[in-house]
A and B are shown apart, each in its own frame.
Chain A
Amino acid sequence: MNTSVNDNAFNRRRFLQSGGLALASAAILAACGKNDKVATAYPRIGESPTTTALPEARVTDTVLLRTASSLEWCAIDAYSAVTALGVLPGAVLPVVARFQADHKAHSAALTEIIKTAGGEPFECANERINTLYIAPAVELIVGNKDKGIEATDTPVDDLLLLAHGLENLAAATYQYYVSLISQPAVRGAAMTIGQDEARHAAVLAQAIIPGGKGIAPSINEKTGKANPAAVPGAFGSLAPVTFAIGRTSEAGTKTQLSLDTPSLNSMAYEYATC
Protein backbone atom coordinates (compact mmCIF):
# COMPACT_ATOMS: atom_id res chain seq x y z
CA MET A 1 0.00 0.00 0.00
CA ASN A 2 2.68 2.44 1.11
CA THR A 3 4.60 1.67 -1.90
CA SER A 4 1.63 2.42 -3.94
CA VAL A 5 1.04 5.76 -2.20
CA ASN A 6 4.69 6.62 -2.58
CA ASP A 7 4.57 5.67 -6.21
CA ASN A 8 1.59 7.92 -6.74
CA ALA A 9 3.35 10.76 -4.91
CA PHE A 10 6.44 10.17 -6.99
CA ASN A 11 4.40 10.18 -10.16
CA ARG A 12 2.69 13.41 -9.20
CA ARG A 13 6.07 14.95 -8.39
CA ARG A 14 7.51 13.73 -11.70
CA PHE A 15 4.47 15.11 -13.44
CA LEU A 16 4.82 18.48 -11.80
CA GLN A 17 8.54 18.52 -12.49
CA SER A 18 7.93 17.71 -16.15
CA GLY A 19 5.27 20.37 -16.35
CA GLY A 20 7.64 22.83 -14.77
CA LEU A 21 10.36 21.94 -17.22
CA ALA A 22 7.95 22.39 -20.11
CA LEU A 23 6.89 25.79 -18.82
CA ALA A 24 10.48 26.84 -18.35
CA SER A 25 11.35 25.67 -21.89
CA ALA A 26 8.41 27.57 -23.30
CA ALA A 27 9.52 30.70 -21.45
CA ILE A 28 13.05 30.38 -22.83
CA LEU A 29 11.80 29.78 -26.35
CA ALA A 30 9.45 32.73 -26.06
CA ALA A 31 12.35 34.87 -24.90
CA CYS A 32 14.38 33.72 -27.88
CA GLY A 33 11.50 34.63 -30.14
CA LYS A 34 11.55 38.15 -28.79
CA ASN A 35 15.30 38.35 -29.21
CA ASP A 36 15.10 41.05 -31.90
CA LYS A 37 13.26 43.41 -29.61
CA VAL A 38 15.63 42.73 -26.76
CA ALA A 39 18.65 43.24 -28.98
CA THR A 40 17.47 46.64 -30.20
CA ALA A 41 17.27 47.84 -26.65
CA TYR A 42 21.07 47.59 -26.29
CA PRO A 43 23.03 50.69 -27.17
CA ARG A 44 25.28 50.33 -30.20
CA ILE A 45 27.71 52.37 -32.23
CA GLY A 46 26.78 53.28 -35.82
CA GLU A 47 23.70 52.30 -37.75
CA SER A 48 22.75 48.84 -38.89
CA PRO A 49 22.26 48.64 -42.64
CA THR A 50 18.71 48.36 -43.85
CA THR A 51 17.91 45.42 -46.05
CA THR A 52 15.67 45.42 -49.07
CA ALA A 53 13.86 42.26 -50.07
CA LEU A 54 14.63 40.98 -53.57
CA PRO A 55 11.82 41.67 -56.03
CA GLU A 56 9.62 38.76 -56.98
CA ALA A 57 11.02 37.02 -60.06
CA ARG A 58 8.34 34.87 -61.64
CA VAL A 59 8.86 33.39 -65.08
CA THR A 60 5.68 34.38 -66.89
CA ASP A 61 4.85 34.45 -70.59
CA THR A 62 5.56 38.19 -70.49
CA VAL A 63 9.01 37.64 -68.98
CA LEU A 64 9.84 35.09 -71.65
CA LEU A 65 8.75 37.49 -74.41
CA ARG A 66 10.72 40.36 -72.83
CA THR A 67 13.78 38.12 -72.72
CA ALA A 68 13.27 37.18 -76.37
CA SER A 69 13.03 40.89 -77.18
CA SER A 70 16.28 41.53 -75.32
CA LEU A 71 17.94 38.87 -77.46
CA GLU A 72 16.62 40.55 -80.61
CA TRP A 73 18.32 43.76 -79.45
CA CYS A 74 21.55 41.86 -78.84
CA ALA A 75 21.42 40.78 -82.49
CA ILE A 76 20.52 44.31 -83.68
CA ASP A 77 23.47 45.80 -81.78
CA ALA A 78 25.82 43.00 -82.87
CA TYR A 79 24.98 43.54 -86.54
CA SER A 80 25.61 47.29 -86.10
CA ALA A 81 29.00 46.55 -84.54
CA VAL A 82 29.85 44.02 -87.25
CA THR A 83 28.99 46.49 -90.02
CA ALA A 84 30.95 49.29 -88.32
CA LEU A 85 34.15 47.24 -88.46
CA GLY A 86 34.13 47.72 -92.23
CA VAL A 87 35.68 44.37 -93.08
CA LEU A 88 32.68 42.52 -94.47
CA PRO A 89 32.64 42.07 -98.24
CA GLY A 90 30.09 44.10 -100.20
CA ALA A 91 28.06 41.02 -101.10
CA VAL A 92 27.40 40.24 -97.43
CA LEU A 93 26.34 43.76 -96.39
CA PRO A 94 22.79 43.55 -97.84
CA VAL A 95 22.31 40.26 -95.98
CA VAL A 96 23.42 41.84 -92.71
CA ALA A 97 21.18 44.86 -93.30
CA ARG A 98 18.19 42.62 -94.06
CA PHE A 99 18.73 40.42 -91.02
CA GLN A 100 19.11 43.45 -88.78
CA ALA A 101 15.86 44.86 -90.14
CA ASP A 102 14.18 41.50 -89.47
CA HIS A 103 15.34 41.57 -85.85
CA LYS A 104 13.93 45.09 -85.45
CA ALA A 105 10.63 43.84 -86.86
CA HIS A 106 10.71 40.89 -84.45
CA SER A 107 11.27 43.20 -81.50
CA ALA A 108 8.39 45.42 -82.64
CA ALA A 109 6.14 42.35 -82.94
CA LEU A 110 7.12 41.18 -79.46
CA THR A 111 6.46 44.66 -78.06
CA GLU A 112 2.91 44.52 -79.40
CA ILE A 113 2.28 41.06 -77.94
CA ILE A 114 3.67 42.14 -74.56
CA LYS A 115 1.55 45.30 -74.54
CA THR A 116 -1.55 43.31 -75.44
CA ALA A 117 -0.83 41.09 -72.45
CA GLY A 118 -0.63 44.17 -70.22
CA GLY A 119 3.13 43.90 -69.81
CA GLU A 120 5.92 46.41 -70.13
CA PRO A 121 8.00 46.02 -73.33
CA PHE A 122 11.75 45.50 -73.07
CA GLU A 123 13.49 47.23 -75.95
CA CYS A 124 17.19 46.97 -75.23
CA ALA A 125 19.91 44.36 -75.35
CA ASN A 126 20.29 41.65 -72.73
CA GLU A 127 23.16 42.84 -70.55
CA ARG A 128 24.13 39.38 -69.42
CA ILE A 129 24.15 37.88 -72.92
CA ASN A 130 26.25 40.83 -74.09
CA THR A 131 28.71 40.42 -71.25
CA LEU A 132 28.96 36.64 -71.35
CA TYR A 133 28.85 35.95 -75.08
CA ILE A 134 29.01 38.90 -77.44
CA ALA A 135 31.68 41.10 -75.84
CA PRO A 136 34.19 38.22 -75.51
CA ALA A 137 33.51 37.18 -79.11
CA VAL A 138 34.04 40.72 -80.40
CA GLU A 139 37.28 40.93 -78.38
CA LEU A 140 38.54 37.77 -80.05
CA ILE A 141 37.80 39.32 -83.44
CA VAL A 142 39.08 42.89 -83.00
CA GLY A 143 41.59 42.16 -80.22
CA ASN A 144 42.12 43.80 -76.84
CA LYS A 145 45.63 45.04 -76.02
CA ASP A 146 44.86 45.47 -72.32
CA LYS A 147 43.98 41.81 -72.04
CA GLY A 148 46.71 40.64 -74.38
CA ILE A 149 44.23 39.42 -76.98
CA GLU A 150 45.46 39.70 -80.56
CA ALA A 151 43.01 40.48 -83.36
CA THR A 152 41.89 37.52 -85.42
CA ASP A 153 43.64 36.61 -88.66
CA THR A 154 40.32 35.64 -90.29
CA PRO A 155 37.95 38.54 -89.51
CA VAL A 156 35.33 37.87 -92.19
CA ASP A 157 34.98 34.18 -91.34
CA ASP A 158 34.82 34.95 -87.64
CA LEU A 159 32.19 37.65 -88.03
CA LEU A 160 30.04 35.29 -90.08
CA LEU A 161 30.53 32.54 -87.49
CA LEU A 162 29.49 34.93 -84.72
CA ALA A 163 26.39 36.00 -86.66
CA HIS A 164 25.59 32.35 -87.40
CA GLY A 165 26.00 31.49 -83.72
CA LEU A 166 23.71 34.32 -82.62
CA GLU A 167 21.01 33.35 -85.12
CA ASN A 168 21.17 29.73 -83.96
CA LEU A 169 20.96 30.93 -80.36
CA ALA A 170 17.88 33.00 -81.15
CA ALA A 171 16.20 30.10 -83.00
CA ALA A 172 16.94 27.73 -80.11
CA THR A 173 15.64 30.26 -77.57
CA TYR A 174 12.22 30.55 -79.21
CA GLN A 175 12.02 26.78 -79.58
CA TYR A 176 12.94 26.25 -75.92
CA TYR A 177 10.50 28.89 -74.70
CA VAL A 178 7.61 27.05 -76.35
CA SER A 179 7.95 24.48 -73.56
CA LEU A 180 7.67 27.27 -70.95
CA ILE A 181 4.96 29.48 -72.46
CA SER A 182 1.48 28.74 -71.12
CA GLN A 183 -0.69 30.25 -73.86
CA PRO A 184 -0.90 28.37 -77.20
CA ALA A 185 -1.35 31.59 -79.19
CA VAL A 186 1.84 33.02 -77.68
CA ARG A 187 3.73 29.84 -78.53
CA GLY A 188 2.64 30.17 -82.16
CA ALA A 189 3.66 33.83 -82.27
CA ALA A 190 7.06 33.00 -80.75
CA MET A 191 7.84 30.27 -83.25
CA THR A 192 6.73 32.47 -86.16
CA ILE A 193 9.73 34.58 -85.20
CA GLY A 194 11.86 31.53 -84.32
CA GLN A 195 11.53 30.04 -87.79
CA ASP A 196 12.77 33.37 -89.22
CA GLU A 197 15.93 33.05 -87.12
CA ALA A 198 16.39 29.48 -88.38
CA ARG A 199 16.24 30.75 -91.98
CA HIS A 200 18.83 33.42 -91.14
CA ALA A 201 21.12 30.72 -89.75
CA ALA A 202 20.66 28.59 -92.86
CA VAL A 203 21.63 31.49 -95.13
CA LEU A 204 24.70 32.31 -93.03
CA ALA A 205 25.81 28.66 -92.94
CA GLN A 206 25.80 28.64 -96.72
CA ALA A 207 27.68 31.94 -96.81
CA ILE A 208 30.39 30.36 -94.63
CA ILE A 209 30.49 27.11 -96.61
CA PRO A 210 29.10 27.88 -100.06
CA GLY A 211 27.47 25.34 -102.33
CA GLY A 212 26.08 21.95 -101.47
CA LYS A 213 28.72 21.27 -98.81
CA GLY A 214 27.18 23.80 -96.44
CA ILE A 215 23.75 22.16 -96.37
CA ALA A 216 24.21 18.95 -94.36
CA PRO A 217 26.33 18.43 -91.23
CA SER A 218 30.02 17.85 -91.91
CA ILE A 219 33.31 17.77 -90.03
CA ASN A 220 36.20 20.19 -90.52
CA GLU A 221 39.12 17.93 -91.47
CA LYS A 222 41.69 20.27 -89.88
CA THR A 223 40.03 20.79 -86.53
CA GLY A 224 37.82 17.74 -86.22
CA LYS A 225 34.97 20.06 -85.19
CA ALA A 226 31.52 20.29 -86.77
CA ASN A 227 31.19 22.75 -89.64
CA PRO A 228 28.25 25.15 -89.74
CA ALA A 229 25.33 23.50 -91.55
CA ALA A 230 22.22 25.04 -93.07
CA VAL A 231 20.17 22.04 -91.91
CA PRO A 232 22.08 20.54 -88.98
CA GLY A 233 19.62 17.78 -88.06
CA ALA A 234 16.10 16.39 -88.20
CA PHE A 235 14.94 18.50 -85.23
CA GLY A 236 15.82 21.93 -83.92
CA SER A 237 18.65 21.57 -81.44
CA LEU A 238 18.61 22.95 -77.89
CA ALA A 239 22.25 22.02 -77.28
CA PRO A 240 24.76 24.83 -76.65
CA VAL A 241 25.76 26.65 -79.85
CA THR A 242 29.51 26.25 -80.32
CA PHE A 243 31.96 27.84 -82.74
CA ALA A 244 35.67 28.67 -82.84
CA ILE A 245 36.96 32.16 -83.62
CA GLY A 246 39.93 34.42 -82.87
CA ARG A 247 43.60 34.37 -83.80
CA THR A 248 44.82 30.99 -84.99
CA SER A 249 47.26 29.51 -82.48
CA GLU A 250 50.55 27.84 -83.40
CA ALA A 251 48.75 24.53 -83.05
CA GLY A 252 46.25 25.71 -85.65
CA THR A 253 43.35 26.04 -83.21
CA LYS A 254 41.05 28.93 -82.36
CA THR A 255 39.15 29.81 -79.20
CA GLN A 256 36.00 27.76 -78.78
CA LEU A 257 32.90 29.66 -77.63
CA SER A 258 29.69 28.13 -76.37
CA LEU A 259 26.36 29.96 -76.23
CA ASP A 260 23.39 28.79 -74.16
CA THR A 261 19.79 29.91 -74.40
CA PRO A 262 18.90 32.58 -71.79
CA SER A 263 17.97 30.81 -68.57
CA LEU A 264 16.74 31.97 -65.19
CA ASN A 265 19.73 34.22 -64.49
CA SER A 266 19.53 35.95 -67.90
CA MET A 267 15.84 36.73 -68.16
CA ALA A 268 14.30 40.18 -68.47
CA TYR A 269 12.11 39.93 -65.38
CA GLU A 270 9.25 42.35 -64.94
CA TYR A 271 11.21 44.49 -62.47
CA ALA A 272 14.10 44.90 -64.95
CA THR A 273 14.25 48.08 -66.99
CA CYS A 274 16.35 49.22 -69.92
Chain B
Amino acid sequence: MADTSTTAPPKQPTTADAVLLSYALGLEFAMVDIYARATVASKDDLKAVAELFGAHHRAAAQSLTGLLGRKAATGRNEKFYAEHSAKIIGGAAKDTAAQLAGLENAMVATHLRMLGTLRGIDGATLIASIIPIEARQAAVLVGLSGSTALDDVMALDDEAVIDPKTYPA
Protein backbone atom coordinates (compact mmCIF):
# COMPACT_ATOMS: atom_id res chain seq x y z
CA MET B 1 0.00 0.00 0.00
CA ALA B 2 2.72 2.50 0.91
CA ASP B 3 5.73 3.46 -1.21
CA THR B 4 4.21 2.34 -4.47
CA SER B 5 3.71 5.86 -5.78
CA THR B 6 6.42 7.31 -7.94
CA THR B 7 4.80 10.70 -8.44
CA ALA B 8 4.08 13.30 -5.80
CA PRO B 9 0.39 13.77 -5.04
CA PRO B 10 -1.20 16.95 -6.41
CA LYS B 11 -1.55 19.95 -4.11
CA GLN B 12 -4.90 21.29 -5.26
CA PRO B 13 -8.05 19.18 -5.15
CA THR B 14 -8.60 17.15 -8.31
CA THR B 15 -11.96 17.28 -10.06
CA ALA B 16 -13.03 14.13 -8.20
CA ASP B 17 -11.76 15.60 -4.91
CA ALA B 18 -13.83 18.74 -5.47
CA VAL B 19 -17.01 16.68 -5.77
CA LEU B 20 -16.27 14.90 -2.48
CA LEU B 21 -15.26 18.10 -0.67
CA SER B 22 -18.33 19.93 -1.92
CA TYR B 23 -20.47 17.10 -0.57
CA ALA B 24 -18.69 17.44 2.77
CA LEU B 25 -19.42 21.17 2.67
CA GLY B 26 -23.15 20.57 2.23
CA LEU B 27 -23.06 18.34 5.32
CA GLU B 28 -21.17 21.00 7.30
CA PHE B 29 -23.81 23.59 6.38
CA ALA B 30 -26.48 21.15 7.58
CA MET B 31 -24.62 20.61 10.86
CA VAL B 32 -24.42 24.39 11.40
CA ASP B 33 -28.19 24.61 11.08
CA ILE B 34 -28.82 21.52 13.22
CA TYR B 35 -26.69 23.01 15.99
CA ALA B 36 -28.51 26.33 15.64
CA ARG B 37 -31.72 24.46 16.28
CA ALA B 38 -30.14 22.60 19.20
CA THR B 39 -28.91 25.88 20.69
CA VAL B 40 -32.43 27.27 20.71
CA ALA B 41 -33.88 24.03 22.08
CA SER B 42 -31.31 23.54 24.88
CA LYS B 43 -30.38 25.06 28.22
CA ASP B 44 -27.31 25.39 30.42
CA ASP B 45 -24.25 23.30 29.52
CA LEU B 46 -25.74 21.76 26.38
CA LYS B 47 -26.77 25.18 25.05
CA ALA B 48 -23.21 26.47 25.41
CA VAL B 49 -21.81 23.29 23.86
CA ALA B 50 -24.23 23.44 20.91
CA GLU B 51 -23.28 27.05 20.29
CA LEU B 52 -19.54 26.23 20.39
CA PHE B 53 -19.72 23.10 18.26
CA GLY B 54 -21.99 24.84 15.74
CA ALA B 55 -19.34 27.55 15.41
CA HIS B 56 -16.71 24.87 14.74
CA HIS B 57 -18.80 23.42 11.92
CA ARG B 58 -19.24 26.94 10.52
CA ALA B 59 -15.45 27.38 10.56
CA ALA B 60 -15.04 24.06 8.75
CA ALA B 61 -17.63 25.15 6.16
CA GLN B 62 -15.84 28.44 5.63
CA SER B 63 -12.50 26.71 5.09
CA LEU B 64 -13.98 24.23 2.64
CA THR B 65 -15.63 27.09 0.76
CA GLY B 66 -12.30 28.89 0.60
CA LEU B 67 -10.57 25.80 -0.74
CA LEU B 68 -13.20 25.00 -3.36
CA GLY B 69 -13.93 28.51 -4.60
CA ARG B 70 -16.54 28.45 -7.35
CA LYS B 71 -16.88 24.67 -7.07
CA ALA B 72 -18.21 24.98 -3.52
CA ALA B 73 -21.70 23.93 -2.57
CA THR B 74 -23.77 26.98 -1.66
CA GLY B 75 -26.34 25.35 0.56
CA ARG B 76 -26.85 22.64 3.14
CA ASN B 77 -27.64 19.02 2.37
CA GLU B 78 -31.43 19.38 2.59
CA LYS B 79 -32.37 15.76 3.10
CA PHE B 80 -29.74 15.26 5.80
CA TYR B 81 -30.87 18.42 7.59
CA ALA B 82 -34.59 17.62 7.34
CA GLU B 83 -34.18 14.11 8.68
CA HIS B 84 -31.90 14.92 11.59
CA SER B 85 -33.07 18.38 12.66
CA ALA B 86 -36.51 16.88 13.19
CA LYS B 87 -35.02 14.79 16.01
CA ILE B 88 -33.81 17.90 17.84
CA ILE B 89 -37.13 18.82 19.40
CA GLY B 90 -36.12 20.26 22.74
CA GLY B 91 -36.66 17.12 24.76
CA ALA B 92 -34.35 15.89 27.50
CA ALA B 93 -30.82 17.27 27.21
CA LYS B 94 -29.43 13.74 27.33
CA ASP B 95 -31.49 12.71 24.31
CA THR B 96 -30.41 15.75 22.32
CA ALA B 97 -26.77 15.12 23.26
CA ALA B 98 -27.09 11.50 22.15
CA GLN B 99 -28.55 12.58 18.80
CA LEU B 100 -25.75 15.09 18.25
CA ALA B 101 -23.11 12.53 19.30
CA GLY B 102 -24.45 10.16 16.66
CA LEU B 103 -24.22 12.89 14.03
CA GLU B 104 -20.66 13.82 15.01
CA ASN B 105 -19.63 10.17 14.79
CA ALA B 106 -21.28 9.93 11.38
CA MET B 107 -19.32 13.00 10.25
CA VAL B 108 -16.06 11.45 11.49
CA ALA B 109 -16.77 8.19 9.66
CA THR B 110 -17.71 10.08 6.48
CA HIS B 111 -14.61 12.24 6.55
CA LEU B 112 -12.35 9.25 7.20
CA ARG B 113 -13.83 7.43 4.21
CA MET B 114 -13.34 10.59 2.14
CA LEU B 115 -9.75 11.03 3.32
CA GLY B 116 -8.93 7.57 2.02
CA THR B 117 -9.94 8.73 -1.46
CA LEU B 118 -8.82 12.36 -1.73
CA ARG B 119 -5.70 12.79 -3.87
CA GLY B 120 -4.92 16.48 -3.41
CA ILE B 121 -2.86 17.37 -0.35
CA ASP B 122 -4.71 20.61 0.43
CA GLY B 123 -8.10 18.92 0.66
CA ALA B 124 -6.70 15.95 2.60
CA THR B 125 -4.93 18.26 5.06
CA LEU B 126 -8.07 20.29 5.69
CA ILE B 127 -10.24 17.21 6.22
CA ALA B 128 -7.55 15.77 8.52
CA SER B 129 -7.75 18.91 10.65
CA ILE B 130 -11.54 18.67 10.92
CA ILE B 131 -11.68 14.97 11.88
CA PRO B 132 -10.04 15.17 15.34
CA ILE B 133 -12.30 18.04 16.39
CA GLU B 134 -15.44 16.16 15.37
CA ALA B 135 -14.12 13.10 17.23
CA ARG B 136 -13.55 15.22 20.36
CA GLN B 137 -17.02 16.71 20.01
CA ALA B 138 -18.50 13.22 19.75
CA ALA B 139 -16.64 12.18 22.91
CA VAL B 140 -17.95 15.20 24.84
CA LEU B 141 -21.51 14.68 23.64
CA VAL B 142 -21.43 11.01 24.60
CA GLY B 143 -20.55 12.17 28.11
CA LEU B 144 -23.38 14.71 28.11
CA SER B 145 -25.77 11.98 26.98
CA GLY B 146 -25.13 10.33 30.34
CA SER B 147 -22.84 7.50 29.24
CA THR B 148 -19.58 6.95 31.10
CA ALA B 149 -18.68 3.82 29.14
CA LEU B 150 -15.38 4.19 27.30
CA ASP B 151 -16.69 1.85 24.61
CA ASP B 152 -19.31 4.49 23.81
CA VAL B 153 -16.79 7.33 23.86
CA MET B 154 -14.43 5.49 21.53
CA ALA B 155 -17.13 4.06 19.25
CA LEU B 156 -16.54 4.70 15.58
CA ASP B 157 -19.11 3.05 13.36
CA ASP B 158 -18.04 2.50 9.75
CA GLU B 159 -21.68 1.83 8.92
CA ALA B 160 -22.52 5.39 9.97
CA VAL B 161 -20.88 6.87 6.86
CA ILE B 162 -23.24 9.44 5.31
CA ASP B 163 -23.97 8.14 1.86
CA PRO B 164 -24.63 10.43 -1.14
CA LYS B 165 -27.18 7.87 -2.37
CA THR B 166 -29.24 8.30 0.81
CA TYR B 167 -28.53 12.00 1.18
CA PRO B 168 -27.83 13.40 -2.30
CA ALA B 169 -25.99 16.70 -2.62
Contact = CB atoms under 8 A, between A and B. Distances in A.
A187 B9 CA distance: 12
B15 interface: no
Interface in B72-102: none
Interface string B116-136: 111101001100111111111
Given A178-B125, A179-B124, A186-B2, A191 B131 contact: yes
Nearest to A186: B2
Nearest to A115: B1
Contacts of B40: none
Contact of A187 (B53, B116, B139): B116
Nearest to A172: B132
Interface string A184-208: 1111110110111111011100100
A62 interface: yes
B45 A195 contact: no
B115 A215 contact: no
A182 B112 contact: no
Nearest to A216: B52
Contact of B3 (A60, A202, A231): A60
B94 to A, nearest CB: 14
Interface stretch (A31-39, A123-131, A233-241): A233-241
Interface in A216-238: 216, 230-231, 233-236
B137 interface: yes
A236 B140 contact: no
Interface stretch (A81-89, A94-102, A145-153, A257-265): A94-102
B111 to A, nearest CB: 8
B116 A185 contact: yes
B1 A117 contact: yes
Contacts of A182: 2-3, 5, 8-9
Given A203-B153, A235-B59, A191 B112 contact: yes
A113 interface: yes
Given A61-B3, A186-B2, A236 B150 contact: no
Interface size class of A (residues with CB under 8 A): 35 or more
Interface in B27-47: 44-45
A114 B3 CA distance: 10
Contacts of A191: 112, 115, 128, 131-132
Nearest to B119: A184
Interface string A55-86: 00000111001000000000000000000000
A76 B67 CA distance: 38
Contact of B156 (A60, A186, A192): A192
A188 B135 contact: no
B130 A102 contact: no
Contact of A231 (B45, B112, B115, B140): B140
A178 B111 CA distance: 13
Nearest to B60: A234
B150 A95 contact: yes
A187 B154 contact: no
Interface of A: 60-62, 65, 94-95, 98, 102, 113-114, 116-119, 171, 174-175, 178-179, 181-189, 191-192, 194-199, 201-203, 206, 211-212, 215-216, 230-231, 233-236
Given A202-B140, A233-B56, 18 more contacts: A61-B2, A61-B3, A178-B128, A179-B121, A184-B116, A184-B118, A184-B119, A187-B115, A187-B124, A194-B131, A195-B108, A196-B154, A203-B153, A212-B48, A230-B140, A231-B133, A234-B55, A235-B133
- Which 9 pairs, one residue from A and one from B, show the smallest C-beta to C-beta distance? A188-B116, A61-B2, A198-B132, A117-B2, A234-B59, A195-B135, A178-B128, A236-B132, A212-B45
